[in-house]
Amino acid sequence: MITKHFGLEIEQDDSLDDVEKRVERFEKYADNDERDAEYAKERLDSGSAHTTRQVNGALSTLDKKANEAAYWRDRVASSISHANFKDRPDVIVRRIKGYEKDLRSARTSFAQAQRADRQEHMKHYQRWIDHIEERIAFQKEYLDAVGGDPREKVAAIREGDIVMYNGEDCKVLSVGKVNVLIHIPSYARWSGGRRVGREELGEIIGHEDVVKPAKVSDGLKKGCQVEFVWRRGGREGTDVGTIISLGTRNVKIKVPANDTWKYYHEHFNGEYDCPRNRCKAVEA
């Protein structure tokens, strides 16, 4: 198909990548190499290779053709695997996201060229915009053909739902606008769960309530006395200070004016950041 953009003719190839023909071609190459390897083996087994030169030649042919046959068999498996991967709905969704990002960038560049009245740049970016829009339209049609947007299947997902992920029943721990935190039974190292895109999840197959542990107050508050464990340069000790401010994980403490904290008073105004789990409120 030929389309015209600002007087330029651009040929668009709408033919699909024929995986079956490629696989058939690779299998033919593998069969030919296996046949040559088998012939070389027969020469060795039958003793028809009489001289040292003939024997070495047959051995070299056997090794070379066997390796080439294995190579083409791997190419067959890779072609089938790659074709299946490209047809996965979640892969197509990510591909569309990439095109949409490129489209936003091209439109921004077009607007900048328009403000600067650079006609040639405007023509260039307009061609890119038209091309990317056509790619997005094609990929969306392709997505509909292979089963539709997988995110629609989990649009109403909520905490506690059981969803399929990589062939496993996984529990949803929390839900964000784009990603979902799930517990994967076979991934023990992700004890806190793993964040995955909505498009990577299968259909919702059940629900279990998520029981969250009650939050226990550590009794820390601004201005109170606190006993804390400090660690510096491989040394460790305990001391008492006053809380200046509190964060989610750390506490800023005003340390006492003694030799232990002389450096902190000279360079950090006598302030020390300590993890909350190493702090304990001192009872009045």
- Reading the block at residue 169, the tokens are 């029943």
Confidence of residue 179 (pLDDT cuts 50, 70, 90): confident
**pLDDT for position 76:** 86
Residue at token pair 């591909």? 95
- Least reliable range by pLDDT among 42-51, 92-101, 112-121: 42-51
Confidence check: pLDDT of 175 > 70: yes
Three-state DSSP class for residue 264: helix
Give me the CATH topology for the region 151-207.
SH3 type barrels. (2.30.30)
Of 237, 231, 219, nearest to 282 by C-alpha is 219
DSSP string, 109-161: HHHHHHHTT-HHHHHHHHHHHHHHHHHHHHHHHHHHHTT--GGGGGTT--TTE
Mean local confidence (pLDDT), 66-72: 90
Q: Where are the domains of the chain?
A: 19-86, 89-145, 151-207, 225-281
Half-sphere exposure of 32 (CA within 13 A, CB side): 7
pTM of the model: 0.43
Q: How far is CA 67 from CA 24, 35, 169, in A?
A: 19, 13, 41
Q: How far apart, in whole angstroms, are the C-alpha atoms of residue 194 and residue 159?
A: 14
Summarised one tens digit per residue, pLDDT across range 219-266 is 888 889 999 998 887 788 899 999 999 888 889 999 999 888 998 999
Q: Are 220 and 251 in contact (CB under 8 A)?
A: yes
